[in-house]
Amino acid sequence: MPDDRPLLIATENEETSRLATGLDADFVSLPDLTSPETFEAWRARVLAGDARERVIVSVWPPATDADDLVELDAEAWARRFEQPYLLWNFALGAAAKRAADGGRVVAVCQAPAGLDAPGRTPELAIADGVLSLVRSVAAAEGPRGVCANLVTTPIGLVQGDLVAPAPPLDGFPGTIETHVVGAVRTFLAADIEGLTGRVLAADGGRTL
Amino acid sequence: MTKTIGNERKVVVVTGATGGVGRGIALACGEAGWSVWIAARREKEGQAVAAEVDARGGVGHFVACDVGVPDSSASAIATILAEEGRLDGVVHNATSGLSPVPVSLAEVELADFQDHVNVALGALHSLARASFAALKESRGSLLLMTSEAGFEGKAKLSPYAGVKGAQRGFARALAREWGRDGVRVNSIAPLASTPAMERAFELDPAMADRVLGRNPLRRLGDATEEIGRAARFLLSDDASYVTGHTLMVDGGSCPAV
């Protein structure tokens, strides 16, 4: 029988630690982007692990200020887009294989709402790319009953005054313990069947 | 065709335009009498497409550009600006040669991921930065060639689907950022008859049935007359109030929209 505890495959930082605590999940940290050998060793180790009914994935980069794209040189682009996005590919690939037949994969990705996107081109590119990857996992693993879905959150991406209108709900951009964990639990719930390839924006209605 | 006032002799550059959709866009822009730069690695093939642009009433040029190499895209933009003194449209069409290769997401090698990312997004970042000032001056536009895969994902083409989705997010964010300077950013998700599609059908024979079976029009689009002209519309002044949009030019195929 697969282990009952959820498995969280994620970058190692405060936000994902809080996510693991909120979900009572076992934690597998993603490797640094150092070399192909590092990745292959990490992947071989993670793929050899036991199957899990519930696998959560999150790549949560260090906080950055919003910057116009023209201000991002190659180094900044690599740090804000390329490196996190490559980690997402590896993390979701591992999650797809670790998920037990009939299991659930849920990705948790930072994403600015469209209104708040200026200065956040790398982050919105990652979020839309991750949605497509999640849907790829849903398509690839669906025949063995695996559901794959995405929760997005603007936590960590909001600066300054918001463009009107204000989000419908108070408390924007939310907290990991309430808004994010709650949305993930929704996708993990035993009585939710047939939902796959979906995205749930845990953002107080900001994307409406 | 009837040329729209304000669209006379625009200067545009198309990456990966030696064949397929890129060539189709170049030829469609040539039909409008525009100056069209073929940005590609292969000079002989690029010059041939440039000659086709001439034959359609435009002015074709070739500029060497390997979008997988850092700084090559920016260098190509610099060459065009030095020659023309202006730039009205940038089309990023080039895609990784690995795009049609079926693979499991859990088995992709780091170098292959990086190739997808470098060509689809790294070059896009470089092109955007290098061309912004000129596009601001001309109130021009940036056009990305994404894919229906970027909406719905693909079971066997996950790395490709991922970067195509990322391009959509890039365009959505940049459209809001550049709109204040009058620069538009849009995407097209085409479904075209191209050598790349033919190769994908060869690698996965069941793919043809899957692709055409769900397509209401039951056929692939023509790269010039259907995809290229849609691209020309988004690059033209006729689309001056269209930004942040992904135009599906796929015969109604994609079920995710």
Domain ranges of chain B: 11-243
Question: Contacts of residue B155 in chain A, CB cutoff 8 Å?
Answer: 136, 139-140
Closest alpha carbon within chain A to B179? A118
Tokens of B125: 């970042």
The beta strands (E) that lie in chain B are given as 11-15, 35-40, 59-64, 89-92, 141-145, 184-190, 246-249
A10-39 tens-digit pLDDT? 999 999 999 999 999 999 999 887 778 888
Q: Is B218 exposed, middle or buried (0-12, 13-18, 19+ CB in 10 A)?
A: exposed
Cβ neighbours of B83 (radius 10 Å): 12
- CA–CA dist A79, B162 (Å, integer): 18
How confident is the model at residue B4, as a pLDDT? Answer: 47
Q: Closest Cα to residue A126, out of B131, B120, B104, B175?
A: B120
Closest alpha carbon within chain B to A68? B177
A143-178 tens-digit pLDDT? 999 999 999 999 999 988 888 899 999 999 999 999
How confident is the model at residue B233, as a pLDDT? Answer: 98
Q: Which CATH architecture has domain B11-243?
A: 3-Layer(aba) Sandwich (3.40)
Contact (CB<8Å) A85/B117: yes
How confident is the model at residue B7, as a pLDDT? Answer: 60
- CA–CA dist A165, A173 (Å, integer): 14
The residues, any chain, with a CB within 8 Å of residue B53's CB and separated by 6 or more, are B26, B27, B29, B30, B36, B38, B59, B60
A105-143 tens-digit pLDDT? 999 999 999 999 999 999 999 999 999 999 999 999 999
Nearest to A82 among B108, B117, B170 (CB): B117
Question: Contacts of residue B152 in chain A, CB cutoff 8 Å?
Answer: 132, 135, 139, 197
Catalogue all structural domains in chain A, each as residue range(s) with its CATH number: 7-201 (3.40.50.720)
Entry field: residues in chain A: 208
> Which of B110, B148, B154, B246 is the best residue to mutate to test the A interface, defined by the most A CB atoms within 10 Å of its own CB?
B110
- What rounded mean pLDDT belongs to chain A? 94
Q: Which of residues 56-85 of B touch A (CB under 8 A)?
A: 70
- Written as tens digits, the pLDDT of chain B (257 aa) is 444 445 668 999 999 999 999 999 999 999 999 999 999 999 999 999 999 999 999 999 999 999 988 889 999 999 999 999 999 999 999 999 888 888 999 999 889 999 999 999 999 999 999 999 999 999 999 999 999 999 999 999 999 999 999 999 999 999 999 999 999 999 999 999 988 788 878 888 888 888 899 999 999 999 999 999 999 999 999 999 999 999 999 999 998 77
Question: Contacts of residue B128 in chain A, CB cutoff 8 Å?
Answer: 69-70
How confident is the model at residue A3, as a pLDDT? Answer: 62
Q: What percent of chain A has pLDDT over 90?
A: 86
Q: Closest Cα to residue B250, out of B221, B211, B207?
A: B221
